[in-house]
Structure 1
Amino acid sequence: MGNVSSPRTARVIDLDTMRQRRQAQRRILRLAPELDGLEMLYHLASDPDTLYGMPLLAWGLRESGEVVGLVPWMETLTACHEMDSPDNGRFFGYRDPETEEIFHTPPEHKVYELEHAAAYFDYEETSAPTLIQQLPDTQGTHALCLASDGESWQLKQVFGWRLYNDGNMESLLVDEKRVEQTPIVAGDACLYAGHSRHATVYYFQRHIANQIKQQDPTTMEALAVMTTPSSSS
């Protein structure tokens, strides 16, 4: 008689552990500012034949080795290729305005820059949140800061961006009451992380921020819709 094979033991899959591993692979390890004017291209479902350009703020290296373009978008510094909203924008590619070349993967020189920088600045792992990098905001990005009651808001220019060892990226804003010297530079006590004081933060490009400052009717109407809490049914 042949040998009877023993039944295979069922594997227990820890879904929480799997999610944590996937999240760790997405963690940003290093940032490189975009200083040559490269843009992200996106389109809207309402106008699929038109491409819109937005200057890239930086490139990021993930723990998985993937390099992603980054732009301030809605409530966070967002990886360009993950933008997939029919209403707010769907990623199409990258563009060099000088040559008008359109490409769909990060440029090699930025990949090399990030890989070499990450190898050089090889920080020791710590459980406590640790500041890894700080970049200036070169785009004139503004933050619309909402209070927890959702009723009051203020518009503040973004001074810069911080990257922490857990991959979290935070905008850096100015507390005007604590400004002691000008110009403001990195490390000044008047700078604070946006979400440390504000319940919700939305990011806007400079021209949209100026429309808000000028009380443009169309912009203010859209802003009212954005900042009004949805009523539960």
Structure 2
Amino acid sequence: MGIPMSPRPAQVIDLDTMRHRLRAKRRLVRLAPELDGLEMLYHLASDPDTLYGMPLLAWGLREDGEVVGLVPWMEALTACHDLDDPEHGHFVGYRDPETDDIFYSAPEHKVFELEHAAAYFDYEETSEPTLLQQLPETLGTHALCMDNDGSPWQLKLVFGWRLYSNGDVEALLVDETLVETTPILAGDDCLYPGHSRHQVVYFFQRAIANRIKQEDPVTLEALACMVTSDNG
């Protein structure tokens, strides 16, 4: 006759703790600019047979060791692998325009660069987010800034990007009233993180931003729909 086994105590799983751990593993810990013209490829559900290309701004090393391409997309500097929206875009892969090679993982030289840089700049954990790195803006990205106080939206050139110890990446914008010397350099008092002043920040590629500046009717209509939807 077998000896009855005492039941194991039920394991309590704290979902909030698990979510926090998963987010921490995916947070960015180091950035490297993309300077060789590599692109992200994506397609839209409305036109699944057409591939669209968008230049990469940078590569990012996550805490779990994964290296991902990064593009200014909608309201954030976004990992390409996270783009999975039928309406706005679904990530397909990376492309080298010079060779037409298409690949899905980060190139080895960028992985090595990021891993060695992260090991060299071994930052200590802090209770409050601290600035880890500043990256220049190389694509001519613009930010559409909106607030809920009824003030008109502003279209501003993105100057650069800041990576913080909690993994957040903020776009650096210029307060024209505080510009004292030019050219503007990282660390100047006229620069500020976009979300520190604006409720909503949308990113646009240079071509779209120029159409907005030129008051292209189709672009302005699409912009009006987006603003209305956001405020609704």
Q: Name the counterpart of 1:167.
A: 167
CA distance in 2, matches of 1:123, 1:150: 41
Q: Name the counterpart of 1:33.
A: 33
Residues 1:58 and 1:230: Cα distance change in structure 2 (over 3 Å):
closer
User: 1:81 is paired with a residue of what secondary structure?
Assistant: helix
User: 1:228 is paired with a residue of what secondary structure?
Assistant: helix
Deviations 1:77-113 (Å, cap 9, x if unpaired)? Answer: 0000110111111101000001111111110100000
Percent of matched pairs sharing the same residue: 74
Deviation at 1:151, TM superposition (A): 5.7
CA distance in 2, matches of 1:107, 1:23: 24
Q: Name the counterpart of 2:78.
A: 78
User: 1:126 is paired with a residue of what secondary structure?
Assistant: coil
User: 1:69 is paired with a residue of what secondary structure?
Assistant: strand
Q: How high is the TM-score relative to the length of structure 2?
A: 0.98
Q: How high is the TM-score relative to the length of structure 1?
A: 0.97
Asked if structure 2 preserves the Cα contact closer than 8 Å seen for 1:39 and 1:95, the reply is yes
Aligned letter for 2:47? D
Q: Name the counterpart of 2:157.
A: 157
CA distance in 2, matches of 1:201, 1:184: 21
Asked if structure 2 preserves the Cα contact closer than 8 Å seen for 1:163 and 1:169, the reply is yes
Asked if structure 2 preserves the Cα contact closer than 8 Å seen for 1:135 and 1:161, the reply is yes
- The gaps in structure 1 that reach 5 residues or longer are none
- The gaps in structure 2 that reach 5 residues or longer are none
Asked if structure 2 preserves the Cα contact closer than 8 Å seen for 1:150 and 1:228, the reply is no
Aligned letter for 2:51? L
Deviation at 1:149, TM superposition (A): 3.6
CA distance in 2, matches of 1:152, 1:16: 38
User: 1:60 is paired with a residue of what secondary structure?
Assistant: strand
CA distance in 2, matches of 1:16, 1:216: 46
The answer to whether 1:47 aligns with 2:47 is: yes
- The Cα RMSD (Å) is 1.2
Q: Following superposition, which runs of at least 4 residues in structure 1 exceed 3 angstroms of deviation?
A: 229-232
Q: How many residues align?
A: 232
Spell out the pairing of 1:1-233 with structure 2 (5 A cutoff). Answer: 1-149=1-149, 152-229=152-229
Residues 1:210 and 1:27: Cα distance change in structure 2 (over 3 Å):
same
Asked if structure 2 preserves the Cα contact closer than 8 Å seen for 1:173 and 1:192, the reply is yes
